[in-house]
Structure 1
């Protein structure tokens, strides 16, 4: 065991088989976590509720925390983060697969360097985890990550592990639909936290219907909100904000096929 908590949100639409697969990749780590906190804030279908119950019964490190009053993903993650008991917290989603050495490699960075938050590249697959369709690469050094922050989220959220207290002291998660992670990292950067990404692909993520989730008026509004926040935090310059409005907002309103082409080019 280690001094790691895993924070894993489960939604009403999560697939039981995917959840079992994600959980298995956690338990089979070369450095297994001390606890796996499965968090929910919705009423669940019987099959996914049964899957959670089975995991908790079968694995003593796992427990289920339900927060019916938590608002959105940010709200349930913040509530879950407060319930995590270990000093380091690893994020995962219910359809992700962590490579066996992930926790070992990331914990080494957090304990042996000044980094407060560490992530990695992310492989995306649609049907077969063994044949990813693309890889979302991110900058590795703190300075490069800071340079990306004004115009593009520099961390792959489900690959991150971080110092629990440092992130909570920076404000933790908020209800910021579709931008929960970028919002968190921006406030952490403004608070002086140190970032790093390993030059490795430590998580595979299922991304069915990716394009649909990344388009539409709501996503465009979220981009505008994010641009203003980056400006208010003094992370983005006036020029950065104008570029954000002109380069990131319009693609969210494009037809699906065009948006897919744009996504293939810019990969987020």
Structure 2
């Protein structure tokens, strides 16, 4: 077997056709995963529960872990991560599509280099996955990723694969609303983990209503908390913190249409 686990959180309101499509892209990988862990923490609709049961019953590597005491997405991901048993863990969301070579390419990097976490560029689409509307590009080398960390999340979360033990040793996920991934990567960098992004687009992500979710007072407050954390970890200087607050908080408070224009330009 490959030594790869897939960590796939499923919300109570997940679209079952999207979930099946995401699962299909996982089982059709050129490097097949040893386990697919579908994690939930809420009471599921009948459709979602049936879809999960069907995937588990028809694919021996899939299993469902229900953790009702997990708090928020970070809690769900941490509970799922602890329940993975393979050395490498790939993240996916329930409406993502992984390119067939994704796991093979990323496992090669983790095995053959000093990298502990590897991601890639991300294609975003609204309706048609064959026609993405934008590509979220990320820095490639560890040094570039470390430089970005002080003011912008340098990895596309649903594209990442990482060394399970290394990430757990850095503390793993925690309940950190709207910034679960950036919070994790910042602590991993502070703990000495090494990063890499492949200069490829290995995942397509559905992003309906993305702009609305990325705006508002709650998101601005999350940006402020993240800026404080980066300063406390020694990743950001005072100047970096001021830049972070000035560049990232005002757009969160703008009307959605204007925010959409900014997002189109900067892609995060």
Residue correspondence of structure 1 range 1-268 to structure 2 within 5 A = 1-268=1-268
- 1:34-81 CA-to-partner distances (Å, cap 9, x unmatched) read 000000011111111110000000000000001101000000000000
Unaligned runs of 5+ in 2: none
Please report the TM-score for the alignment, with normalisation by the length of structure 1.
0.99
Per-residue deviation at 1:259? 0.6
Unaligned runs of 5+ in 1: none
Question: 1 CA distance for matches of 2:110 and 2:241?
Answer: 32
Question: 2 CA distance for matches of 1:133 and 1:112?
Answer: 33
Query: Which of structure 1's runs of 4+ aligned residues deviate more than 2 A?
Result: none
Please report the TM-score for the alignment, with normalisation by the length of structure 2.
0.99
Aligned length: 268
Per-residue deviation at 1:177? 0.3
**How much is the aligned-residue C-alpha RMSD, in angstroms?**
0.5
Secondary structure of the corresponding residue to residue 248 of structure 1: helix
Secondary structure of the corresponding residue to residue 223 of structure 2: helix
Question: 1 CA distance for matches of 2:168 and 2:221?
Answer: 26
